Amino acid sequence: MLNRLDLRGLGAAVADRLPRPEIAGDEPRAVVRELVAEVRADGDAALRRLTERFDGVTLESIRVADTELDAAVDELDPELRAAYDAAIEGIEAFHRHQVRPTEVIARPGLTITASQRPVTSAGLYVPGGRAEYPSTVLMTAVPARVAGVARVALCVPPDRRRGSIAPSVLAAARLAGVDEVYAVGGAQAVAAMAYGTGSIPAVDVIAGPGNVYVALAKQEVAGDVGIAAAFAGPSEVVVIADHTARPTYAAIDLIVQAEHGPDGLAWLVTWDEAVADEVCAAGEELLASAPRAEDVRSTLRSGGYVAIVDDRAAALAVVNAIAPEHLEIQTADAEELAASVDNAGAIFCGELSPASVGDYVAGPSHVLPTNGSARFASALTVGDFCKDHHIVTVDRDGLDRLGPHVIALATQEGLAAHAESIRLRLGDEHGEAG
């Protein structure tokens, strides 16, 4: 089921021996640049052409009518509605703790008022096509709403079979407080939200995961629009397992991430070769009856690995080098190991804490950094939809105390006007105030 790597004897010096599939080469980047340019030039006409080309759907209306969202909620199965409500409750509860109150920091003669202000508008991207992802609607829209964003727009590729967006996604959008839903996907949706078209007004920030083309499109438009979180591309998981792990649990959790589709990564890391054998055997047994077995096998052939290492320290070195989106620790000392992890988007401790809990109901957003970007980035947060404002107020005593330091620093940097702006206010012999 997995490509085997024997890393024993290398200790913690394993980073250079780890395969890292290149999912963002020159060709995808060139395609994305062309798509972004086409949308900027032709607006809605480009969106219609590209939706027909990539999704096989002829759009009558790019925006989904509000009545369709309302109808989707009305038709929700009660059990599913209860699951949506539970997920929203957990996501709201977690993200409310990220909202910072206004603070006043006072020093002699100087006061700084620091506040967190939401952006005016946010554009959310939710994948489609291969599956329906109402959970991603909740995991992006709820943090935006908790942040206080006034306008939340959502782009989702239409389903070829339906010719429209799945009702489950529309219902999630309505329940999460999305204002506008558009039946557009791919890099063209990112371009539309970044630059605006006749139907889709431009936004301030774009958030949400997608395939490599979506992730690259966000990189392409970054700077013209805010891009929340990091490279949120194809799904990844690393499972660390020892002899206490249940092989079936570890195997199913590798399959869970591979189920998302191509270009993902699924790693098993262990210092016990018997564990590697048992997990791989359990995986084969599970795949024998899996509904999407061939898709999973295809992903695992290109991005599935079992790394056999010397010890726990070497396992941590592998994890920190990969910097995975999801990390599961199924060992006797899971919490101790978790405390030593530097690079991971989300960590799940113990055999009863699969990443699927985080995908749906735990509370933190499941929009996580991929492709190694967990080295410097984190999950989507309220902060991704906010700006930090600070207001500085200086009184006479403060200017008398700090002004000479400003003059000294500005003079050293050769910025005469900076220094003069202080001298004029101090009224010294170099510039009488008034």
Distance CA 431, CA 434 (A): 9
Residue 195 CB contacts under 8 Å (≥ 6 apart), including other chains? 39, 40, 202, 221, 224
Neighbours of 41 (CB within 10 A): 10
Task: Look up 326 and say whether it is catalytic.
Answer: yes
Q: Hey, is 421 helix, strand or coil?
A: helix
φ and ψ at 61, to 5 degrees? -135, 130
Residue 334 CB contacts under 8 Å (≥ 6 apart), including other chains? 349, 350
What the block records as the tokens of 55 is 């999704």
What the block records as the tokens of 225 is 């629009």
**Active-site entry in 38, 132, 236, 325:** 325
What the block records as the tokens of 101 is 């109150």
The pairing of strands 326-330 and 3-6 is unpaired
Task: Look up 79 and say whether it is catalytic.
Answer: no
Distance CA 84, CA 217 (A): 30
**Active-site entry in 95, 260, 326, 366:** 326
Query: Please, is 3 exposed, middle or buried when counting C-beta atoms within 10 Å of its C-beta (0-12, 13-18, 19+)?
Result: middle
The residues annotated as belonging to the active site are 325-326
